[in-house]
Structure formats: C-alpha cells, structure tokens
A and B are shown apart, each in its own frame.
Chain A
C-alpha cells in the first residue's frame, strides 16, 4: 500500500541511452527511510558502494521528502544524494528556495540519473514526465546565464532551474549545484557528478500545485501540525520574523559570538580568533550592505541576506546569501576582512558553481603552503585580488595550480607534499567552528558520514547557546551521547525534508506529529529517533563497504596538538575520549557498524 503524502512517482533517467522509466515509491523503503536524504541514500546504497563517483555508473538523486511542497512551514528543501568525489563516501546536500516544491508540483518525489550523455543535455520535468534536451549552447556558461536562458525558454513562472557552472563541467571536486535563487546544494561535489554525466541543468515546471493536498480524513491533523509549527516559529526567540536573531542577521549572527569564545578558525586554523571579524559579521552586514531579505517556500523567517556593495573596488556586486560559513571560509579563514571582497568571491562561487566552504579552505591551505615556501606563485594571506584570480583558475581547471586546487583542500595539500595542512576529514574541509574551542563539534566533524560538517550534528546549540541545556564547550564529557541525539534527529528532518532551522521550533514530538498527519502512519518521538538512527547507520554501512572503515573518524593533527588562541587559549581537542563514548552510544566497533546493529535497525 502506498503511503499518502508522496507523489508516488520517481523517474529513472539513463543519460547514456536517453531512456526514461517511471516507478512508484517502495512503501517499505518509504517507511524505513522516509524520503529526501534517507530514501536518496537508500537508492545510492542499492546502486553499490564500489562505483567510481565520476563514472557513468554513479547514481545522482534529486530527492523530495513527504513534506515537500506542502503548506508545512520550512518544507522547501531538496536533497541531492550521490557518492561523493570529494570523500569517496555517500553524501547528501540540500538546497533551499522553491526547487523542491516545484519538482513536487511537477509530479515527482525524485529523479535518479545514471549513465553519461555523449554531449551536454538538460532534463525537463513537467506533469509527471521527464524529457532530455540538447544543452550544447549552455555548456561553458555560468549558472546565472543558464538560469536566465532556461527560464525564458520554458516560461519563467513556476519554473525552477538547478544548474551547474564551469566548475561542475570541469569536475572540480567541490562543484555545487545552484538554482534561480542562488541556493546551493553546496557540499560534497554533487556538481562534479552532474558534470561527469554532461547534465547541465534540471528544469522543474511545477504547475500542479494542488497535487499536494492532505487526504480528507487527515485535513484536521495536518492543519493542526502546520499551525503548531508556525506558532513556534512566530514566537521563537531566533526565528520570529524581523525580531529573532536568525531572521534579522541570518546565520552570520554567529560570527561575533564564535570569535568571542575563541572558536573561529583564522589563517587556516593557525589562530582561533581574529581581531577584525566584526567587519564581516551579521551586525555589520545588516548595518552597511543589506538590501533584501529573501526567503524560501513556506518560510516566514527569511534568513537569506542579499547584499550590495556600493563603493570601493567591488562596487556593484549584488549577491546572496552572505552566510556565516561563507563569510568565515572566504574571510577570516583566509585572513580577509573586507566585506566587498568576500561578497565578490561569493558571487563568483554562485556563478561558477563552487562550494564556498571548500573553496575557502582550499585558498587558506594554499596560503599556508605559500607562507611555508612550498608553493611558488602562491597566494598571500588576505590577498583578495589573487584569491579572485585563483578562484577563476580553479573553476576553469586552468594551469597546474588551478587543477591542483580543484581537488579540494585535502587533494591540494597532498599535492604540496603536506596533507596535514588541510583541515579536512574524509576529504572534506571543515566549516566555521574550531574543534579546540567547541569540543563536541570536533567529534561531529570526525564522525560525520559526509566528511567534516556542522549540519550532521549541531552540538554548538548546546555548547554555545545553551539550547536545550548548557553544555560546557571545553569539556569532552558527555559529548558522544549528545552528538548521537543531534545526528539522529537531523537525519530524520533531512529526510522529511525540512529546513534545519525548523529545529528552533520543533522537536521529535512535533516531527512525529507532522509525519503522521502527512502519511497517515501512527508515529511517535521514539520512532523519529529510531528512524534517524537507521538512516545514519545505513550511511555508515555504505561508507564501510566503500572502504571508509576503522580509523576513518579522525581530526586533522592541528586540532589535536596545536593550542587554540583567544577565548579558548591553550585548548586542544580530546578526540579519543569523545570517540570512545560515541562508539559506545552507537554500538559501533571503531567506526564500523556490526551486523547485529544492522539487524536491530532492520537495515539488513
């Protein structure tokens, strides 16, 4: 029996032959893995763990969840799942805006691309069908121009375009996929996989909005679940529209507080404090550069921050969204605190299609290598013009430097003969929190299934904001159990697919209520946590089979041996202690999921 809440339609597109077939959602898989991240990972798992990420055999999934496109608040996210060329493990990367909703309104829960086209193509999804069209005229173009042309060609209204730029075409290992709102599936190199398949864009023409309606006998439950979520958002201290910190300043509200505690990696992590971080903080951006505050489907928070640079060498740059991670990666991490230059680099990433976090780490790694004399014609700390020039070389895979840096921070550092200079885990570079000043997030980086990542288990909430309870950020105690809870809960919300900010308003109980109202399946908070755990373990099992076994949960040596500065002076990460506790909580053996755990969670 098919669960309600799904379009019950997935397209399998073989790009080698051009053949398209359609199938429903397997009810058993939907129950176990929900949708979006969970179901996408299941498709990738079933495709086999040994596949070369950039070969035609790799599977590239664009996935919705059961909440996608509905009136449930923050239900506008889409998951891209595949085997990552950056980590060699499974990855899921989520974009906001309206792409997810429009794909749903085009009649789909998901699109599964396999094979590779001989010449560039793009896919058009409309009214439950997918067709391929020639994209030779688009190949080589930036994302903005690609989006403009395809929106004009296909009608504009109701049309979402998810495209790659030159970085994806050139298989830069950290290439991203962006849509018409500059929202990115940023991490893990999903854009490189798309480029390897010669798939330039996916166009979703979503004109059957009323397709997503709760069944008559669940209208009341659905409306209740929606209202509970909305009320919490409207009253949340962070999310309240135009009042909460997230709504007013966006994610960059974090810059000053993380710097204050000495957990802001600066100069490639040589320091954990930057005296001038305020210049690119959310407060400064709001006061001096903010021009618009866009939002996503069904979201009153509007945390996106569109900036315009009005004077100086970068005058005229107008781009979104000036996020904390971006400001950190391309800013203080590289010794740069010029907001105009950061905006220019962000704008380039949005058009070339590159992950801002990985690019920032690539540049900072090259800067440290330059300082150490390992790189001739390298990059000096904070040299904005050179950073901009090198970003273009990377996206276009030009020259030895451009090609080396296109491998990501770890690949680049390895090519310099110093892999330890890269602040990466499993081949993916860290985001904007230093593991020496916030101990739990270091454990989160080490154990994330998609490489270093803050979004797989955001212990910062408890360690910095004291939500839901204050944890001592400098103590390794209790972080293993704490992290597992965060990881499992996020795995569930990523599979619905709800924006992670929903977490400000909702806990496992509210998620269970929303899931029940949508699908008609009785569901409890315990079910939410168990389902999240199952998804996390499936990912881990895939990675184990793909060769990421014992010893693959680690932190770069710098965080274990070089003391932090600023408000965390003298601190290093006690990873071993935390890992031991974490593995005990997970029931894993040195990072490997045992068969009994797989059976217990009904994975095998």
Chain B
C-alpha cells in the first residue's frame, strides 16, 4: 500500500510517497513498522523506540480520520485506502496560534469533558 509522507518526514525518508507491503485488515501499526524498516531515516520520528506507540503529536490518517480517534495502531486498514503521516505541524494564520498555550488549563477542561471516541469509519 502507499504511504504519503509530509513536511520533515520527506527529507528523512528521501521520498514523498513510499510503497509498503500491507494487506486490508492489517493493523496500521504493522504497516508503520515496515515503513520505518524500509526507510531507516524515519526511525525515532514516527513510532516510539519499541514500536508500540505513535510519538506525541505525530498524526496518521486513514481516509481523513486520525488513527488516534479510531483504534490507534490497532486500527485495521480498510481496502483501497492509503496512509498519510504527518510530523507535528499545527500552526495558525498570520499569526496563528497555538497550542501549548494552554496546557494545564485546557487539560483540565478536556478532562472534564473527554471527547467521545468516534465510531470506526467503515
């Protein structure tokens, strides 16, 4: 299957798109581990050293949905889709803004109203 890479990951992998073996129904984590094995420059950029989790703020999308909103690395890959992998990129407008802004305050709000986990997308 095809994995699309963005921002700093392109230079590290030496390509914007990488073809990685993968079959429908397989967990995303398996494909990502193969991706890192195929592109050693991505080691330490996408997955934790033991390969068991995504690094903080790295985003992996399947058909527009973040796997963090699905089943994480265990999310099964539906047929006919590709993966998109982004390093931390949030920004804003001329002046944009951002995030960490908040930290403790937001964390408290989010704990109080933890967002509902969305259903799987297919």
Contact = CB atoms under 8 A, between A and B. Distances in A.
A469 B110 contact: yes
A464 B90 contact: yes
A184 B94 CA distance: 9
Given A489-B102, A507-B103, A283 B92 contact: no
Interface string B46-73: 0000000000110101011110110000
A109 interface: no
A506 B93 CA distance: 18
Contacts of B97: 454-455, 458, 461, 490, 500-501, 503
Nearest to A94: B95
Given A468-B107, A475-B116, A248 B8 contact: yes
Say which size band chain B's interface belongs to. Answer: 35 or more
Contact of A485 (B8, B106, B114): B106
B100 A505 contact: yes
Interface stretch (A114-122, A252-260, A310-318): A252-260
B93 A323 contact: yes
Contact of B59 (A465, A469, A529): A465
B11 to A, nearest CB: 10
Contacts of B103: 468, 507-508
A243 B10 CA distance: 13
Interface in A252-290: 252-254, 256-257, 260-262, 282-283
Given A461-B97, A464-B59, A470-B69, A566 B64 contact: yes
Contacts of A186: 94
A529 B104 CA distance: 12
Given A465-B99, A506-B100, A481 B94 contact: no
Interface residues of A, number: 80
A455 B93 contact: yes
B7 A245 contact: yes
Contacts of B101: 458, 461, 468, 486, 489-490, 493, 503-504, 506-507
Contacts of B118: 472, 474-475
Contacts of B113: 477-478, 481-482
Nearest to A303: B91
A465 B105 contact: no
A499 B101 CA distance: 12
Interface in B80-101: 84, 86-101
A423 interface: no
A437 B96 CA distance: 19
B15 to A, nearest CB: 12
Contacts of A246: 91
A324 B93 contact: yes
A485 B88 contact: no
Contact of A283 (B6, B94, B109): B6
B93 A525 contact: no
A248 B116 contact: no
Given A246-B91, A251-B93, A567-B63, A257 B115 contact: no
B64 A460 contact: no
Nearest to B5: A283
A503 B100 contact: yes
A342 B92 CA distance: 19
Nearest to B6: A256
A510 B56 CA distance: 22
A470 B106 CA distance: 11
Contacts of B89: 238, 245, 249, 253-254, 257, 465
Contacts of A244: 88
Contact of B98 (A324, A458, A473): A458
B99 A467 contact: yes
B91 A432 contact: no
B61 A261 contact: yes
Contacts of A184: 94
Most buried by B among A246, A282, A357: A246
B95 to A, nearest CB: 5
Contacts of B93: 251, 323-325, 357, 431-432, 454-455
A466 interface: yes
A251 B6 contact: no
Given A455-B97, A501-B97, 15 more contacts: A96-B94, A238-B89, A248-B7, A251-B94, A254-B90, A261-B61, A283-B10, A455-B92, A461-B100, A464-B59, A468-B110, A471-B115, A472-B117, A489-B105, A500-B92
Interface of B: 6-8, 10, 16, 56-57, 59, 61, 63-66, 68-69, 84, 86-107, 109-110, 112-118
| Shortest 7 CB-CB contacts between residues of A and residues of B | A567-B64, A465-B90, A478-B113, A503-B101, A461-B99, A467-B99, A458-B97
7 contacts: A250-B91, A283-B10, A324-B92, A325-B94, A454-B96, A508-B103, A509-B104
